[in-house]
Chains A and B, each alone.
Chain A
Amino acid sequence: MPEPNGAIRVGVYVCHCGSNIAGIVDCKEVAEYAAGLIHVVVSREYKYMCSDPGQDLIRNDIQEHNLNRIVVASCSPHLHEHTFRVATANGGLNPYYMAMVNIREQDSWVHTDRQAATEKAKDLVRAAVRRVVLQRPLEKARVAIDPNVLVVGGGIAGIHAALTLANAGKHVYLVEREATIGGHMAMFDKTFPTLDCAACILTPKMSAVKAHPNITLWTYSDVEKVDGYVGNYNVRVRRRTRYIREDLCVGCQECIEACVYKQPKFADEFNQGLGKRRPIYLPFPQAIPQTPVIDRDTCIEFKTGKCKKTCLEVCGDRHAIDFKLQDQVEEIKVGNIILATGFQPFDAKRIPYYGYGHYPNVYTSLEIERLVNASGPTNGEVVLRDGKTVPKSIGIIHCVGSRDENTNRWCSRVCCMYSLKLAHLLKEHTGADIFNFYIDMRTPGKSFEEFYQRLLGEGVHFIRGKVAEVTDWVFDPSEEGKLTLRVEDTLLGVVRRIPVDMVVLSVGMEGHQDAQDVRRLFNITCSTEGFFQERHPKLAPVNTFTDGVFLAGCCQGPKDIPDTVAQAGAAAAEALALICAGYVEQEPNCAYVIEEQCSGCKTCIPLCPYSAITFREDNRAEVNPVLCKGCGTCVAACPSGSLQQRMFEDDELFAEIEGVLAYV
């Protein structure tokens, strides 16, 4: 819209946000005040500026009153800046002729004094009016989206996201840290509440990943470096060598049998240390890929160089085993990234009074999953650590490392249900008396409460109370040789001692120990609990604050398998939405160099976190607008003031500061 006579004509709109703002800020007074400011032609207040009639106000006023600048005083720009820019554009103005004032999060929500809050709103509006006068018209740049996607983590979340994308015809790189995909779900015996076998429903999906022409699967691999931006990420992946070539190995596993260790000797990680493996091993029978791994720390050849290498011998002409293999480094380009890195189970040793690691017959829930599993270390026979005694009584303690001020405060969401499942399975396997010790039963999923009722009918005992300790001290002769759970039964109102043969600790979920490293690698945020932060807890639960990086599964917070799969599908859909659009528009907030003023001092170059600044042959710095994220670091650091940033020009900022400080 042309500016007649160059006159600046500002419209100010003060939003009530129902009572969110109007409850504390006198919106009418603010609007009346704004009407008296220089350049302001129209000043209004309205109940909901973000509603259609609210937006129409802006559009109509632009046309009716020849407005050429808009100020909206409402909520955080995070929520509605886009809305009001669109409204401004619909009125025929460049959308960047709009300035937003946050009088909700930064005013009404944090103050209780009505008068002071109203004054603050006036100050902020005055600052925005001064600023908007100087704002420039800007255009968004478009960036093409690379259709390839990186999925990090090969648990059920990563598997489902990868398959969804691959089925849509997009190429997926699935990177998994362990030697096999499958994640925690592969370790589970049955799944609640339907009791279908976890492996039976998971392994077909694992095989589908391996067979899919659109999926490149790299297990035993780590993402080392990520740079670029939405649509154009450059990723470096280190494929740690397993000393067996995946392309030559046929998966016959003869090498494992041929190992010089006649009997498996080392703690088997997949079976939670309850079983043993050899230095050359496959994590579990249905592992994908079916290529064994040689563990450097236990293999005699690596430790002494003097092994007979019977594995190599039996591999023969296939030549798949090579002790000299090195890690492989792959460089890939992807447009989107889905993080599905999962969780780590709470370390039960952190609660010494439950005796894990001290009393042999205290188990974690994950150990029990393996113990009841037909392909587990005891072939599904539930026996104590002595390898022969079948427990006659079992206590299952809920909320171990969850809902606990001393460890983790959050509810891990799945423990009540999996404790019920384990109670059912243990009862089925042993016929033992089973006691569940719970704080509250939380069974809010589909068919979950019905499962709880079913367990009540199966004669499992439920004792409401937080267990104080698991101990071997004997008070009554009946406790001799048993583990006694001391607990306040809050329904009976008495302190009880329950002697049992086996104790199961239902451990909660926490973020991975290296979550902070991963978050830095992918430039996203992480809560103090170690779970990755979604962009919005309700409305953008799979997005992150970094465009093109999405979350799926327990890395974002504890959840069960159905929720994980749903979230993985959502993350895949979000990535597909970007891919199908073909491009993203970039906020025009990038820095630029005023060439005449640049002295070529290079101060800015190492400071740029995105490597967006290069040094030209003519001794000038240059900003690549596609790489620039608009963080402003270089602008602040430039000694000659020759770096400026669009949307945050010096004069705009100074006008805003003067506006907020001026008492007029």
Chain B
Amino acid sequence: MPDNKGYLYFPGCSLRATGVAYEESLLELFRVLDIPLQELEDWNCCGATSYMAVDEGSAFLLSARNLSIAGQKENHDLMAPCSACYLVLRKTQDYVAHYPEAGRIVEEGLMAAGLKPFNGVHVRHPLEILYNDVGLARIKAQTVRKWQGGKLACYYGCQAVRPYDEVDRPHDPVRMDELMNAVGAETVDYSLKTKCCGGSLTGTIHDVGIRLNYILLKEAVRKGAEAIVTICPLCQFNLDAYQSEISRQSGEAFDVPILYFTQVLGWALGGDPKALGLRRSIGGKGLVRKWFSPSQEVLAHA
């Protein structure tokens, strides 16, 4: 897709709540890249998590409404930065196309709401947009701040890469690593990059959720990473918010910055550090302040 056309943008609830830093850094990054984003008007809940588990039909309908609105736009590239949004939108399209029962529910629901069926909407994730449409070469060329921070563990989580393989390879994704390398950041071979962050278990079966995040943090540190980079607001939240509790329980002190990949890229490409949501970090505040120092000089374009 040509950059100048930009993308439709579906924030979802996370990017307006626990994941504000994701939205802030994403918008700043796309501003620096000069790629317009048009927020989907009158969007609603994507239908992920609880809805999907309780009533698939309702989840599909919620998702379908968003898709239907997007379908009426000229630009059919709909960017969903939250992995849960991305997956449920993508899954709705898939189920409507392949399962007559899902298709019927959605068709009748849209008709009752006076909405048109969606056709040709292309659901996109920013990781894949930055990798495929923008490309490593341009990212490299536009890098004005070389990464001075520590080694990074790129953590992809599950929803963006499975079961659909359009964002990256399902079991051993590499694109976030390559983007980080492109701006000069070293990444570690993080074997848990697609393992579970606990999802909503941190809220429901707390001990299990905490244990999963403990495993993720411990292994990243063992591999020599000083920070974990994520592409999903739920992963980021789980890893970031419970570090003090995990430290207390395990007796191992974790103080690890959990960054969004858009924060690292936004900073490297010359974005305003104040606009990247960095002050919202909980873990590793000291490192975040040091690495993203606004005083760090912006290099001239190579």
A474 partner, pick from B169, B172, B219, beta carbons under 8 A: B219
Closest to A480 in B: B222
Closest to A484 in B: B191
Residue-wise, chain A 467-494 has the 8 Å CB interface mask toward B (1 for contact) of 0000111110000000000000000000
Which residues on B sit within 8 Å (CB–CB) of A353?
171-172
A358 in contact (CB, < 8 A): yes
Asked if B171 contacts A474 (CB within 8 A), the reply is no
Shortest Cβ gap from B129 to chain A (Å): 24
- Known A474-B219, A475-B215; contact A352-B191, beta-carbon cutoff 8 A: no
Q: Which 5 A-B pairs have the closest CB atoms?
A: A352-B171, A352-B172, A473-B191, A473-B219, A471-B191
Can you sample 18 A-B contacts with CB below 8 Å? A352-B169, A352-B171, A352-B172, A353-B171, A353-B172, A358-B172, A471-B191, A471-B192, A472-B189, A472-B191, A473-B191, A473-B192, A473-B215, A473-B219, A473-B222, A474-B219, A474-B222, A475-B215
Closest to B216 in A: A473
Shortest Cβ gap from A479 to chain B (Å): 10
Q: Given A352-B169, A472-B189, A474-B222, 10 other A-B contacts at CB below 8 A?
A: A352-B171, A352-B172, A353-B171, A358-B172, A471-B192, A472-B191, A473-B191, A473-B219, A474-B219, A475-B215
How many B residues are at the interface, by size bracket?
A: under 10
Closest to B219 in A: A473
Which residues on B sit within 8 Å (CB–CB) of A471?
191-192
Residue-wise, chain B 174-191 has the 8 Å CB interface mask toward A (1 for contact) of 000000000000000101
| Complex Cα spacing A473 to B218, Å | 9
| Complex Cα spacing A471 to B192, Å | 9
Residue-wise, chain A 61-72 has the 8 Å CB interface mask toward B (1 for contact) of 000000000000
| Complex Cα spacing A591 to B78, Å | 60
Residue-wise, chain B 201-245 has the 8 Å CB interface mask toward A (1 for contact) of 000000000000001000100100000000000000000000000
Which residues on A sit within 8 Å (CB–CB) of B219?
473-474
| Complex Cα spacing A524 to B240, Å | 61
Closest to B170 in A: A352
A-side binding surface: helix, strand, loop or mixed? Answer: loop
Closest to B190 in A: A473
Residue-wise, chain A 350-375 has the 8 Å CB interface mask toward B (1 for contact) of 00110000100000000000000000
Shortest Cβ gap from A350 to chain B (Å): 11
Closest to A471 in B: B191
| Complex Cα spacing A475 to B219, Å | 8
| Complex Cα spacing A390 to B38, Å | 60
Which residues on B sit within 8 Å (CB–CB) of A472?
189, 191
Shortest Cβ gap from A290 to chain B (Å): 44
- Among B169, B172, B191, find the residue whose CB has the most chain A CB atoms closer than 10 A: B191
| Complex Cα spacing A473 to B192, Å | 7
Q: Which of B3-44 contact A (CB under 8 A)?
A: none
Shortest Cβ gap from A492 to chain B (Å): 21
Q: Which of A431-486 contact B (CB under 8 A)?
A: 471-475
| Complex Cα spacing A407 to B225, Å | 34
Which residues on B sit within 8 Å (CB–CB) of A474?
219, 222
| Complex Cα spacing A325 to B35, Å | 59
Which residues on A sit within 8 Å (CB–CB) of B191?
471-473
Shortest Cβ gap from B190 to chain A (Å): 9
Which residues on B sit within 8 Å (CB–CB) of A358?
172
Closest to B215 in A: A475
Shortest Cβ gap from B72 to chain A (Å): 38
Closest to A472 in B: B191
| Complex Cα spacing A358 to B171, Å | 13
Which residues on A sit within 8 Å (CB–CB) of B189?
472
Which residues on A sit within 8 Å (CB–CB) of B215?
473, 475
Which residues on A sit within 8 Å (CB–CB) of B169?
352
| Complex Cα spacing A471 to B222, Å | 14
| Complex Cα spacing A299 to B58, Å | 66
Q: Which of A52-95 contact B (CB under 8 A)?
A: none
Closest to B172 in A: A352
| Complex Cα spacing A475 to B222, Å | 10
| Complex Cα spacing A352 to B173, Å | 10
Closest to A354 in B: B171
Closest to A358 in B: B172
Shortest Cβ gap from A473 to chain B (Å): 5
Shortest Cβ gap from A348 to chain B (Å): 13
Closest to A474 in B: B222
Shortest Cβ gap from B153 to chain A (Å): 11
| Complex Cα spacing A374 to B96, Å | 59
| Complex Cα spacing A352 to B222, Å | 22
| Complex Cα spacing A473 to B222, Å | 9
| Complex Cα spacing A471 to B193, Å | 11
| Complex Cα spacing A352 to B165, Å | 14
| Complex Cα spacing A474 to B172, Å | 18
Which residues on B sit within 8 Å (CB–CB) of A473?
191-192, 215, 219, 222
Which residues on A sit within 8 Å (CB–CB) of B192?
471, 473
Which residues on A sit within 8 Å (CB–CB) of B171?
352-353
Closest to A475 in B: B215
| Complex Cα spacing A353 to B193, Å | 12
- Among A352, A471, A473, A474, find the residue whose CB has the most chain B CB atoms closer than 10 A: A473
Shortest Cβ gap from B155 to chain A (Å): 12
Shortest Cβ gap from A375 to chain B (Å): 35
| Complex Cα spacing A353 to B171, Å | 7
Residue-wise, chain B 77-113 has the 8 Å CB interface mask toward A (1 for contact) of 0000000000000000000000000000000000000
| Complex Cα spacing A472 to B193, Å | 12
Residue-wise, chain A 550-561 has the 8 Å CB interface mask toward B (1 for contact) of 000000000000
Which residues on B sit within 8 Å (CB–CB) of A352?
169, 171-172
Shortest Cβ gap from B164 to chain A (Å): 15
| Complex Cα spacing A353 to B173, Å | 12
Which residues on A sit within 8 Å (CB–CB) of B222?
473-474
| Complex Cα spacing A472 to B190, Å | 9
Shortest Cβ gap from B163 to chain A (Å): 11
| Complex Cα spacing A474 to B169, Å | 23
Shortest Cβ gap from B222 to chain A (Å): 6
Q: Which of A329-366 contact B (CB under 8 A)?
A: 352-353, 358
